[in-house]
């Protein structure tokens, strides 16, 4: 597994370098920074878009907290976050927010003899593991959920994010929704005071640490689990059904979402009802100024996402992300018209 992780990490780093150095190749290249959750699909889109248009994407995969800070400081054309900002924050910073894709957050483990999908957890047990209340893999609560699994009499090594992270926000939101103890004592945020475990930066860092640490558990976006061939756990969902992390389970969680109910389409998809739903489903969002310093750069960024909505669905599905419904995309494009430069919208349909 370590060899695979090293290869995957090298591939991600190579992609990051390619995206970064591409910014010197063409004046029209787009700058963005933020969430690591969507990095695999943004990298794939960027490569295809570069081949089609000649324009590149310089995207820094630094975490949602960093993305929010950079867009607020106007050092990038767009920021990316998995924690949607509220209406007051958007208004205060003159930001337009919109979702790009949806995906799933999954628990990943490194336990000898356990293969992907052979372990199942529920929300309460997962919360107790990350609170340090369940410390051994052969704990009665885990064994009850997995009567046929050969779980070791070994200490659980917890790995969590060390940076400000929208993945952490959605993960802790879910744990707070299923565990009042978690909500009261740990809370829900992009960064929390973890009672136990070691921190790692980005989905990449958590994936690498889990892969290198025996008897460990962490949480990553599903694409990272797939790319690194990691062992993920199935989950018991809100309806008490065992579900595997896969596209149809993420789609089921998003099916009933009312995207217009929140400013900037900021809907939380965690712990949705339904027999087929994955309980840790989340959307990822883009932030762009409604009064950009460079209307030309803003227009280029919107052209990229316009193309991604039109041409990028299959690429998203190949990485087990769920594309946004067409009806939501139309509403998103209507919101883009409030992004103005010199008093004129920088986005026009079919531009």
Give dist(CA 148, CA 138) in Å, integer.
12
pTM, 2 dp:
0.85
pLDDT for res 4? 43
Task: Round to whole Å and give the CA distance between 135 and 132.
Answer: 6
The verdict on 99 and 221 lying in the same domain is: no
Q: Output the domain CATH number for residue 232.
A: 3.40.190.10
Question: CA–CA separation, 335 vs 320, rounded Å?
Answer: 27
Kindly state whether residues 66 and 115 are assigned to the same domain: no
3-state secondary structure of 223: helix
Three-class SS of residue 201?
coil
109 and 96 share a domain?
no
Domain residues for 145?
104-256
Residues 108 and 248 in one domain: yes
β-strand partners of 33: 60, 79
Q: Is the same domain home to 208 and 228?
A: yes
Instruction: Give the pLDDT score at 349.
Output: 62
pLDDT at 75: 96
Count structural domains, the chain: 2
CB of 41 closer than 8 Å to CB of 13: no
* Position 44 in a domain: yes
Mean pLDDT, 10 residues at a time, the chain of 351 residues:
43 42 50 95 97 95 95 97 96 97 97 96 98 98 96 98 94 98 96 97 94 97 90 97 95 90 95 96 97 95 97 95 94 94 78 47
Instruction: Give yes or no for a contact between 59 and 12, defined as CB atoms under 8 angstroms apart.
Output: no
CA–CA separation, 124 vs 275, rounded Å?
Answer: 18
Q: Are the beta carbons of 97 and 286 closer than 8 angstroms? A: yes
Q: Are residue 331 and residue 287 in the same domain, yes or no?
A: yes
């Amino acid at each position: 597994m370590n060899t695979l992780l090293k290869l995957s990490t090298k591939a991600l780093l190579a992609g990051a370098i390619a995206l970064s150095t591409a910014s010197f190749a063409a004046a029209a290249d787009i700058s963005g920074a933020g969430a690591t959750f969507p990095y695999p699909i943004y990298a794939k889109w960027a490569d295809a878009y570069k081949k089609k248009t000649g324009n590149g994407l310089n995207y820094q995969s630094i975490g949602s907290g960093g993305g929010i800070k950079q867009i607020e400081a106007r050092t990038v054309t767009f920021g990316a976050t998995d924690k949607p900002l509220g209406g007051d924050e958007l208004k205060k910073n003159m930001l337009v927010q919109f979702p790009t894709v949806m995906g799933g957050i999954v628990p990943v483990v490194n336990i000898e003899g356990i293969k992907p999908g052979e372990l199942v957890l529920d929300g309460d047990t997962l919360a107790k593991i990350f609170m340090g209340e369940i410390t051994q893999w052969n704990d009665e609560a885990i064994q009850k959920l997995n009567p046929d699994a050969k779980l070791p009499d070994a200490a659980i090594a917890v790995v969590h994010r060390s940076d400000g992270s929208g993945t952490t926000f959605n993960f802790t939101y879910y744990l707070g929704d299923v565990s009042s103890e978690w909500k009261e004592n740990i809370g829900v945020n992009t960064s929390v005071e973890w009672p136990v475990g070691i921190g790692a930066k980005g989905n990449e860092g958590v994936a690498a640490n889990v892969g290198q640490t025996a008897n460990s558990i962490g949480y990553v976006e599903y694409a990272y689990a797939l790319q690194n061939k990691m062992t993920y756990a199935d989950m018991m969902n809100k309806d008490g059904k065992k579900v595997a992390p896969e596209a149809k389970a993420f789609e089921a969680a998003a099916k009933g979402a009312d995207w217009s109910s929140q400013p900037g389409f900021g809907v939380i998809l965690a712990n949705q009802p339904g027999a087929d739903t994955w309980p840790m489903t989340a959307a990822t969002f883009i932030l762009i100024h409604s009064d950009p310093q460079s209307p030309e750069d803003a227009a280029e960024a919107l052209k990229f996402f316009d193309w991604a909505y039109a041409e990028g669905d299959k690429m998203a599905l190949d990485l087990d992300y769920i594309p946004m419904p067409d009806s939501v995309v139309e509403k998103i494009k209507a919101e883009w018209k409030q992004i103005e430069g010199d008093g004129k919208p920088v986005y026009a349909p079919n531009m």
